[in-house]
Amino acid sequence: MSNTAVMENQKPVRRASGRVPWLDWMVMPTLAVLALVVGYPVVYTLMLSVQDYNLLDIVPGGYVGAGNYSSLFSDPVFWTALYNTAVYTFGSVFVSALLGLIFALLLDNLAGPQFRAVRALLLVPWAVPFVVVAFLFRYMYMQNGGIVNEMLLWSGLIDHPVPWLNNAALAMPAVMVANIWAMAPFFFLLLSAALSGIPNEVIESARVDRARTWSMIWHIKLPFLRNPLIVSSLLMIIANFNDFAKIWAMTQGGPGFSTTTLVVYVYRLAFENFEFGYASATGVIWLLLLLVFAVAYVRALRMN
């Protein structure tokens, strides 16, 4: 019996029942798991965010309403962490996407074993675990014996070793360089795949019209890369917003608060100061910001 015949036989049964169930029992296990692993932590965090709850206090935490949130908005460290998060996230994603785009365009249509080897080498940083990347760059940035200072001293660009990770003005750019090194291959891989998906008819038509290289890139290739760039950038913005391992392994948010992002600040509040109520309020703000990017990501996927 064909699928059409089966559907025709099922329609009268559904009409005869008089109503369509609003909940399919088959999805109940999935909803139960989501409620346990997602719903419960979120609800518990919301409850903690309205309490003055410190794990070291003898007295149990009391209800303070929006007290934690009002304290948060007058907390200069919170605004510093929010600013650092924006700089770290958007700066890293922008530069990584730009580098990935440049490498993808340079290696597009280049065949041969040597170029396959170059592509493989460019993807190596993406395969390195983030913690390993952090410690690798930490050793490279060492003031005494680090390869970065040794190379700069040898070339004569500096007269004395630079404390890259101990200087408040240099620490954030130094951490971002490590992040960009690890993230640019992701954009290179995705944009190379998108370039290979451009129809040959479009490329041949542009060549017949004698389109030059820059015109081919600007008018043909970049429009095809727009949607992959938007989706991958939103995905990496969400990932960098939650990035904890690289920053903590390299600077632990220091010196001072110069590299403290929201995720590092929440960790310090919760697991160093044990201020779970205040940390939960910060986490709620952090969650709301992430939801904005998540909604934008879903809308971008629908647009594609």
| pLDDT tens digits along 280-297 | 999 999 889 988 888 888
Distances (CA, A) of 139 to 24, 147, 162, 254, 265: 55, 8, 13, 16, 24
**Helix ranges (DSSP H) in 58-167:** 67-73, 76-107, 113-127, 130-140, 147-155
According to the model, what pLDDT value does residue 18 have? 58
- What is the DSSP code string of 179-241? HHHHHHHHHHHHHHHHHHTS-HHHHHHHHHTT--HHHHIIIIIHHHHHHHHHHHHHHHHHHHH
Q: How confident is the model at residue 1 (pLDDT cuts 50, 70, 90)?
A: very low
Q: What tens digit of pLDDT does each residue of 271-280 get?
A: 998 989 999 9
For 62-66, 158-162, 244-248, 275-279, which range has the lowest pLDDT when averaged over its residues?
62-66
Q: What tens digit of pLDDT does each residue of 219-229 get?
A: 888 888 888 88
| Alpha-carbon torsion (58, 59, 65, 67), positive or negative | negative
Per-residue pLDDT, averaged over 33-46, amounts to: 89
Instruction: Tell me if the bond preceding 255 is cis, omega within 30° of 0.
Output: yes
Q: Say how far apart CA 13 and CA 43 lie, in whole Å.
A: 41
Q: What tens digit of pLDDT does each residue of 102-136 get?
A: 999 998 877 777 888 888 888 888 888 888 999 99
